[in-house]
């Protein structure tokens, strides 16, 4: 049975799903009826971060997984590809994390969702509803946990949905739900990658 998380909530994946090897992160959202004159293009990204670095820096530039880099070098993190409309039922974008393939120095995978050119188009997450992140056992399809973002983000163009992190050798998930009025490039700079 899936665990429902609230902002700041955590789950130990080794205890909740002991056989879990591949985690599928399903991210979804719907749009309110606002018309900004532009279609919304919302993008999910994953940043694979290493332990023991200030501000959690990327393992390498190739460990920034997004619509222009669909896989980390060792294949541990794979992106489903860019969904430019978010239309239809179910998850809009997915990212699969193969835990046994994760490099030993990887301490965290941060999942960030941004509105492409949101500031220029005057779009924000206040115009987005029913946003969520679901963790699935990719081998069985079973939902391990769900985090529905029920906060109001009236100015924010980016949200860190959640974070997979390693503690005492076990993988955990934290529901973060932190909003920012920045673009994807700001996260790239923060995590130390010279890509965009």
What is residue 142's predicted lDDT score, i.e. its pLDDT?
94
Domain annotation covers residue 73: yes
A 10 A CB-CB count for 192 gives 19
Domain annotation covers residue 139: yes
Sign of the CA dihedral running 91, 151, 39, 34:
positive
What is residue 154's predicted lDDT score, i.e. its pLDDT?
75
Instruction: Measure the CA–CA gap between 132 and 148, rounded to whole angstroms.
Output: 4
The boundaries of the domain holding residue 180 are: 3-191
CATH code, domain with 148: 2.60.60.30
pLDDT at 193 over 70: no
Q: Report the mean per-residue pLDDT for the chain.
A: 85
Domain annotation covers residue 130: yes
CA torsion, points 175, 178, 179, 182, in degrees to nearest 10?
Answer: -110
Domain annotation covers residue 17: yes
Residues paired with 147 in a beta bridge: 5, 133
Q: Do 109 and 162 contact (CB within 8 A), yes or no? A: no
pLDDT at 38 over 90: no
Confidence of residue 28 (pLDDT cuts 50, 70, 90): confident
Range with the poorest average pLDDT among 29-38, 122-131, 169-178, 182-191: 29-38
pLDDT at 195 over 50: no
Three-state SS annotation for 135-154 = EEECCCCCEEEEEECCCCCC
Domain annotation covers residue 196: no
Q: Averaged over 176-196, what is the pLDDT? A: 77
Q: Averaged over 148-167, what is the pLDDT? A: 85
Domain total in the chain: 1
For 74-124, how does the pLDDT look when each residue is reduced to its tens digit (9 = 90+)? 999 999 886 655 555 678 889 999 999 999 999 999 999 888 877 788 888
What is residue 175's predicted lDDT score, i.e. its pLDDT?
93
- Which H/E stretch holds residue 16? helix 13-16
Instruction: Measure the CA–CA gap between 104 and 52, rounded to whole angstroms.
Output: 13
Domain annotation covers residue 135: yes
Instruction: Measure the CA–CA gap between 100 and 79, rounded to whole angstroms.
Output: 17
What is residue 81's predicted lDDT score, i.e. its pLDDT?
80
């Amino acid at each position: 049975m899936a665990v429902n998380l609230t902002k700041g909530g955590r789950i130990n994946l080794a205890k909740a799903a002991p056989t879990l090897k591949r985690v599928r992160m399903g991210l979804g959202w719907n749009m309110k009826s606002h018309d900004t004159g532009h279609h919304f293009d919302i993008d999910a990204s994953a940043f694979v971060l290493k332990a023991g670095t200030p501000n959690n820096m990327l393992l390498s530039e190739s460990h920034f997984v997004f619509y222009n880099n669909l896989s980390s070098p060792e294949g541990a993190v794979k992106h489903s590809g860019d969904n430019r409309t978010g239309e239809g039922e179910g998850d809009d974008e997915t990212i699969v994390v193969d835990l046994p393939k994760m490099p030993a120095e990887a301490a965290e995978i941060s999942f960030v969702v941004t509105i492409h050119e949101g500031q220029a188009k005057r779009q924000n997450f206040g115009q987005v509803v029913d946003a969520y992140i679901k963790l699935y056992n990719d081998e069985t399809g079973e939902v391990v946990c769900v985090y529905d973002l029920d906060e109001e983000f009236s100015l924010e163009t980016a949200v860190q949905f959640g974070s997979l992190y390693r503690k005492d050798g076990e993988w955990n998930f934290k529901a973060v739900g932190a909003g920012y009025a920045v673009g994807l490039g700001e996260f790239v700079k923060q995590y130390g990658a010279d890509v965009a």
